[in-house]
Structure 1
Amino acid sequence: MPQTDPSYARLPARFFARVAPVAVADPQLLALNLPLAEALGIDPVWLAGAEGVSMLAGNTLPGWATPIAQAYAGHQFGSFVPQLGDGRALLLAEILAPGGGRFDLVLKGSGQTPFSRRGDGRAWLGPVLREYLVSEAMAALGVPTTRALAAVATGEVVWREEGALPGAILARVAASHIRVGTFEYFAARRDTKALALLAEHTRARHFPLADGALGLLASAVAAQARLVSDWMSFGFIHGVMNTDNMAVSGETIDYGPCAFIDAYHPDRVFSSIDRHGRYAYAQQPNVALWNLAQLASALLPLIGEGEAGVEAASAALDGFWPALSAAWSARFAAKIGLASARTGDHALIETLLARMARQGSDFTRVFHGLADGSARDEFADRAAFDAWAVDWHARLSHEQDPQAVMRAANPARIPRNHRIAEVIAAAVTGEMAPFARLHAALSVPYEERPEWADLSDAPAADEAVTRTYCGT
């Protein structure tokens, strides 16, 4: 059994609610991440057996589990909600992995908690499989992310606008589930003592070299700048970047109405609840900085609320754009084969993106096609690509092995919306083979595999998914 240490559960009672998961009727294992289980020190044979599945469903708890629902607040689409919290999730345990590191094990969809706000505390199969696929794909792409340990069918139905849907639970693993909204929760209550405890807990857990609350803020700024640049480089749109969905650790968390771009445009929006484009693809850096400003505001009682404190916090926030720009430039330079930096590289990248936007070119297929010469086929007006390629080829002449650089930076496959929709539709009927195939293909996104060639295709007009839903 894994080694555990419930450090968050040792914080004062106002940080969480102690609550057990609600048992389900007929738990059945749908998917299990064997390598992750082994890395956490959990016996995969036990986990796949009756006792393990019962735990993953919340029906029984091992002695090392200390289930709690964490309290937090959050800005949702810019409006502050002073109390949110884990309304359908429980932090089951903090696991000390044999190879090092501390990880939260959370059950998502495990029933009502004191923070459920009239919700049923459950999840249906579609969002569970979506998060499993996308979070594991992100890990394979090299993007900091929460991980999926298992998906379990509950044998019960949940009711949503669409009607009765099959219920499921996701077992999620994260460096922690401490959010910007967690700090806002205590700042809104002027609970400086709790705020100080939270800041020190977070600093020690994620940024042990940081100096106090100001160092914590600066570290979070740097982590978010790197994360968002990663998102942008793969055409990922989080879809609901509320402050309660931003992990201070710098991991991607809460895959609700997320999506990867097919036809590129910087203003692309998929989330059905983002009616005004607040969280559009190109807006993500601005929103990340806005969220970090809310973190800075929450931390001001610890940094210093006078003019000196505001100036110090502002200086930390000022580090975001240089860090984002450097990370973005490095990511996109690699995508076009550049391992070194020269004047004009940024303009070269921006010109390509602008032409892709005008043509509605497929984001992933263009960049992946640069290495094998097929990128121009993604442009309805080939001349638009050819004109750009003159300058690009001239720039590549100064690089030693641009093909290798591009192959390492550009995946052949991403979790396309229409493929995920196909998987979910099949799973609702009890057919999990499409899930297994897509998951296998996404686990090695940079490998060229002919048996998965269709999974690299852009959607046909009648396959395109233009709206994604959070599933709550």
Structure 2
Amino acid sequence: MNSLDHLSVTSSPDSRQNAIRFGFDNSYARLPGHFYARLVPTPVSSPRLIKVNAELARSLGLDPHELVTDRGINILAGNSVGEGSEPLAMAYAGHQFGYFVPQLGDGRAILLGEVIGLDGVRYDIQLKGSGPTPFSRRGDGRAALGPVLREYIVSEAMAALGIPTTRALAAVTTGDRVLRETALPGAVLTRVAASHLRVGTFQYFAAQDDVDGTRILANYAIARHYPEIAQSPRSYRNLLDRIITRQANLVAQWMLVGFIHGVMNTDNTSISGETIDYGPCAFMEAYDPDMVFSSIDRQGRYAYSNQPHAAQWNLVRLAEALLPLFEQEEGSKEAALASAHDALGSFGPQFEAARISGFRRKLGLFTEDDGDAALAQSLLDSMATNHADFTLTFRRLCDAAAGADDSAVRALFADPVAYDSWAAAWRSRLEKESITNEERATRMRRVNPIFIPRNHLVEAVITAAVEKQDLQPFERLLDVAVRPYEDRAGLEYYATPATPEQCVRETFCGT
């Protein structure tokens, strides 16, 4: 990794006071006032920079060297407001574990503004942990250091894996303590997203029977994310169609790397199709379709295998919010319901198509065969029975496909004979394709990571930072996580599953 890709400061920051040129162009702040609350972040006592994502900053047209000055750090901490910023907390509602809350909103986040990246795309820049807002519901609006480091690492790992996600632009410590179960060091994350529009944003207006608000929001979402449908006579139905497609593809991508979001509430379901809000998220090690890590998910609502069902449930809630607009398009309530039902019916087939296409690539299959879905499921079933590590199984299959013996992958199965039985069917299927073994293995290595942010490694990073003020483990794990497909010598520790003593069975929200 280029040494400038992630700038960090562990000594006193540069004292230059150059103006920070964000080039804000704030479209959401031009929407009606009841869409948000205007306020500035609450200052912190002694901000210090942990990290600036220089490569991401440059892609947004920002100078990363300006961000590490005193002035830049103060903006990233919320102690001052950059030129052109119009800080606001967004209003939204949401279903949380199936229970509807009519007003949630940004309780510990403030949108500083929007910038146009070098790619021509509009991005939100948001501070997370920047103090209380009118939506805080008696919370302190702050973030602890541990969850900030977790989100930085995991969101950047997801980006490196090619999965749509919010990004981490920077992280700072605050010099203040936040009270959770104990007093913890505080931090602020600067998050970048295509937008922070959520299913819950639409629910906020629908719950108030504010059809005009719903229409304004829908038109804004179309203009920002799906401009190609703006002139369609059924633009609101097309909007739902596009969001369904993005969510189906997103959840399939999660499943293909063993990722469990943990809190798939409607307020954590992004209209842009990005992964958002890395609270009690985790990557599986031993494959288990019923795996749950989140300490607050007592019923397994958002278990690994339930994620597609949860996503579809959330999309039903979005369709409900859009029904008044559908009715105007379709001419009657009955036709609106039929249209929504038709759209929602496409989620399952789209998800399954994305999922099986992904598993074909992971297994080195580049043509289609009717038995491919069953072949993939047979492997997953055997992995579950034999406690095989999800990531390493697929990575070691790359070597097996290249012609190496199967001993490395066999060793991952409690009963290696179970692998042998499946491997015979897999090799028979490989014979139906003309691609060379080496080319197959090369292409498999591009989709089967060797490195993921394993839960015990993330927890070790947090423990070192919180208890010892040592950020070197964070630096090292981040360097590994942002190059997930490169099998680098000397990093075997980061690819090794947790021992029973290291195993992390529960992950926690940062609130």
TM range (shorter): over 0.9
Q: How big is the shift at 1:404?
A: 2.0
Other-structure match for 1:394: 428
- Find the aligned partners of 2:306 and 2:477 in 1 and give their Cα distance: 29
Other-structure match for 1:375: 409
Q: Does 1:158 align with 2:172?
A: no
Q: Does 1:172 align with 2:206?
A: no
Other-structure match for 2:84: 64
8 Å contact from structure 1 (residues 135, 146) kept in 2: yes
Other-structure match for 1:231: 254
1:164-243 matched pairs, under 5 angstroms: 164-210=183-229, 211=232, 212-243=235-266
Q: 1:427 aligns with which of 446, 465, 471?
A: 465
- Find the aligned partners of 1:231 and 1:465 in 2 and give their Cα distance: 19
Q: Does 1:263 align with 2:283?
A: no
Q: Does 1:412 align with 2:436?
A: no
Q: Does 1:325 align with 2:338?
A: no
8 Å contact from structure 1 (residues 338, 405) kept in 2: no
- Find the aligned partners of 1:414 and 1:340 in 2 and give their Cα distance: 28
8 Å contact from structure 2 (residues 22, 61) kept in 1: yes
Of residues 171-180 and 371-380 in structure 1, the stretch that sits farther from structure 2 once superposed is: 371-380
Other-structure match for 2:319: 296
CA deviation map 1:270-329 (0-9, x unaligned):
000000000000000000000000000000000116110000011111111111111001
8 Å contact from structure 2 (residues 44, 174) kept in 1: yes
- Find the aligned partners of 1:202 and 1:135 in 2 and give their Cα distance: 23
Opposite residue 327 of structure 1, the aligned amino acid is A
Q: How big is the shift at 1:174?
A: 0.1
Opposite residue 107 of structure 2, the aligned amino acid is G
Runs of 4+ in 1 over 6 A off after TM superposition: none
8 Å contact from structure 1 (residues 2, 97) kept in 2: no
- Find the aligned partners of 1:17 and 1:340 in 2 and give their Cα distance: 52
TM-score scaled by structure 2?
0.91
Q: 2:382 aligns with which of 324, 333, 355?
A: 355
Task: Give the match's secondary structure for 1:3.
Answer: coil
Other-structure match for 2:74: 54
Q: Does 1:465 align with 2:504?
A: yes
- Find the aligned partners of 1:175 and 1:385 in 2 and give their Cα distance: 42
Q: Does 1:453 align with 2:473?
A: no
Task: Give the match's secondary structure for 1:29.
Answer: strand
- Find the aligned partners of 2:119 and 2:322 in 1 and give their Cα distance: 33
Other-structure match for 2:144: 124
Q: How big is the shift at 1:99?
A: 2.6
Opposite residue 10 of structure 1, the aligned amino acid is R
8 Å contact from structure 2 (residues 155, 278) kept in 1: yes
- Find the aligned partners of 2:473 and 2:92 in 1 and give their Cα distance: 37
1:23-34 matched pairs, under 5 angstroms: 23-34=43-54
- Find the aligned partners of 1:143 and 1:366 in 2 and give their Cα distance: 20
- Find the aligned partners of 1:311 and 1:321 in 2 and give their Cα distance: 17
Q: How big is the shift at 1:33?
A: 0.2
Q: How big is the shift at 1:405?
A: 2.5
- Find the aligned partners of 1:36 and 1:125 in 2 and give their Cα distance: 21
Opposite residue 389 of structure 1, the aligned amino acid is A
Q: How big is the shift at 1:414?
A: 0.4
Structure 2: gaps of 5 or more residues? 1-20, 401-407
Other-structure match for 2:273: 250
- Find the aligned partners of 1:173 and 1:38 in 2 and give their Cα distance: 13
Q: How big is the shift at 1:138?
A: 0.1
- Find the aligned partners of 2:505 and 2:124 in 1 and give their Cα distance: 33
8 Å contact from structure 1 (residues 339, 405) kept in 2: no
- Find the aligned partners of 1:271 and 1:294 in 2 and give their Cα distance: 23
Of residues 278-287 and 58-67 in structure 1, the stretch that sits farther from structure 2 once superposed is: 58-67
Task: Give the match's secondary structure for 1:4.
Answer: coil
Task: Give the match's secondary structure for 2:163.
Answer: coil
Q: How big is the shift at 1:451?
A: 2.2
Other-structure match for 1:104: 124
Other-structure match for 2:363: 336
Q: What is the alpha-carbon root mean square deviation over aligned residues?
A: 0.8
CA deviation map 1:55-91 (0-9, x unaligned):
0000011121110000000000001000000000000
Opposite residue 24 of structure 1, the aligned amino acid is V
Q: 1:444 aligns with which of 459, 467, 483?
A: 483
TM-score scaled by structure 1?
0.99
Task: Give the match's secondary structure for 2:399.
Answer: coil
Of residues 73-82 and 300-309 in structure 1, the stretch that sits farther from structure 2 once superposed is: 300-309
Opposite residue 445 of structure 2, the aligned amino acid is R
Q: Does 1:44 align with 2:67?
A: no
- Find the aligned partners of 2:443 and 2:357 in 1 and give their Cα distance: 11
8 Å contact from structure 1 (residues 155, 166) kept in 2: yes
Of residues 234-243 and 93-102 in structure 1, the stretch that sits farther from structure 2 once superposed is: 93-102
Q: 2:107 aligns with which of 84, 87, 92?
A: 87
Opposite residue 299 of structure 1, the aligned amino acid is L
- Find the aligned partners of 1:273 and 1:330 in 2 and give their Cα distance: 33
- Find the aligned partners of 2:222 and 2:356 in 1 and give their Cα distance: 29
Q: Does 1:135 align with 2:164?
A: no
- Find the aligned partners of 1:314 and 1:208 in 2 and give their Cα distance: 24
Task: Give the match's secondary structure for 1:370.
Answer: helix
Q: How big is the shift at 1:238?
A: 0.2
Opposite residue 180 of structure 1, the aligned amino acid is V
Task: Give the match's secondary structure for 1:168.
Answer: strand
Of residues 322-331 and 108-117 in structure 1, the stretch that sits farther from structure 2 once superposed is: 322-331
CA deviation map 1:183-240 (0-9, x unaligned):
0000000000010000000011111123311110000000000000000000000000
8 Å contact from structure 1 (residues 29, 48) kept in 2: yes
- Find the aligned partners of 2:176 and 2:268 in 1 and give their Cα distance: 27
- Find the aligned partners of 1:53 and 1:440 in 2 and give their Cα distance: 22
8 Å contact from structure 2 (residues 171, 189) kept in 1: yes
